[in-house]
Amino acid sequence: MSVYIIGAFHRVAPAAIAKDLMQTFQMSGAILGALSSSYFYMYSIMQIPSGILADTVGPRKTVAVSTGVLTAGTMLFALAPSLAYCLAGRFLIGLGVSVIMVNSMRVCVEWYRPGEMGLVNGLITTVSAIGGLLAATPLAFLSEALGWRFSFVIIGFASFLLGCICWLVVRDRPADCGLPSLNESTYETIEAPHTIRSVWSGITRVAKNPSTWPPFFGFFCFYSTLMAFVGLWGIPFITQHYALLNRNAANYTMVALVGLMLGCPFVGYLSDRATIGRKLPYLLFACAYAATWAILCFVGNGRPPLKYLYVITFFMGFFCSGFTLSLVCTKEVNPVHLAGIAMGTANTGGFLGAAILQLVLGKVLDLLWDGQMIDAVRIYPLRAYRAAFLICLLVTLMGIVASACVKETRRDNCRCLRKAK
């Protein structure tokens, strides 16, 4: 989980250093969006492969090796002499962290009971929110004190140390410690070794399952919009239209991540209750999340009063936490021996959405830019941000439709699969 904190840190770090990056490399909004989204493109591309690695090589080896890639990418990003090197570093960071979430969940499938998975998934995402918190106000202060480059050198060394600890401590399943499995009586198991044919068969089986895709698109809509605000454009919006310093603006994105951190275990706990199920909290949180975007877009003509902004951003993060059920819902409509592939498929949705939306919003901002610049940084008018956030609202409305199509499993893979047959 400590490695996952570092991975989550990198998702939202560009927001806190957006001004520094634009000054250092003379970026437009579209280029900054492309730089930030490069992490998400690599992340989304690797989700199904990471599921395959989780089901074959195993989480311990996969995460330990990937942390080395993460360290190299962080150092390259920190020391980049040009935009091309900076972009390459960001790609490597995305590659390094891309396997961590699915492999973490794969370990949990082995170490926790089915009725605990909703809460466990929520707690994992809560841990990731800690990384986001560190990438908000703390990173803003650190970069002001030491510079953004040296700050990332420190983060690179921390990544390497955590990777070593992961190799020494993590075990893929209870049997590796001589303990009995918790799930043998509940789940379908397959003892045959994995081959290329069996892996491909698993991918096609997950892809052909129509119940796989509503959580995929739900995650796409939830997560992409949150990352558009918290991960890149929220801090520039607040600094430019509320006249706040960068470190003060970062407090508002940090509040959103606190909301996410509190919401994840809450929605996970609700979904683990047999009388509630997975679908109802998923749908309710989707509707409430869309409402927070509507408030941001329409109250004050796209500039809500500053005194309400903490409340808006907190509930934006809190209700977005419904996306944590995407992986659990996908896992439970597919056989357990394909859990890694299934969760990797669902996880692709959120990060693919974040990659696309950050770039799209950057282009929209550039199209509506009126030419104003301060200290080599583009200043976007309020109408530009409002247009960008209206796109986010539209995406969240699509997420409501996807969440309404999620199949209720009542926490039981086997029963759900029997019904499907």
**Domain ranges for the chain:** 2-171+199-416
Band the pLDDT of 303: cuts 50, 70, 90: very high
CA 211/CA 420 separation, integer angstroms:
9
Higher pLDDT, 15 or 150: 150
- Across residues 124-153, what is the average pLDDT? 86
> Residue 192: what pLDDT?
42
Average pLDDT, the chain: 84
At 180-233, the pLDDT tens digits run 666 554 434 434 445 667 778 888 888 899 989 999 999 999 999 999 999 889
Q: Which CATH superfamily is domain 2-171+199-416 in?
A: MFS general substrate transporter like domains (1.20.1250.20)
What is the structure's pLDDT at 306?
Answer: 93
107-128 pLDDT per residue, tens = 777 767 666 666 676 677 777 7
**Are 155 and 74 a contacting pair, CB within 8 Å?**
yes
DSSP 321: G
Give the contacts of 358 (CB within 8 A, at least 6 positions apart).
33, 36, 37, 40, 227, 228, 231, 232, 233
pLDDT tens digits, 266-290: 887 787 775 677 888 899 999 999 9
- Percentage of the chain modeled with pLDDT above 90: 41
Q: Taking residues 306-328, what's their average pLDDT?
A: 92
pTM for this entry: 0.78
Inform me whether the pLDDT recorded for 10 exceeds 50: yes
Over range 129-135, report the average pLDDT: 83
pLDDT value of residue 421: 47
Cβ count within 10 A of residue 100: 27
User: In this predicted model, what pLDDT tens digit does every residue of 74-103 receive, in sequence order?
Assistant: 999 999 999 999 999 999 999 998 888 778
pLDDT at residue 163, as a whole number: 85
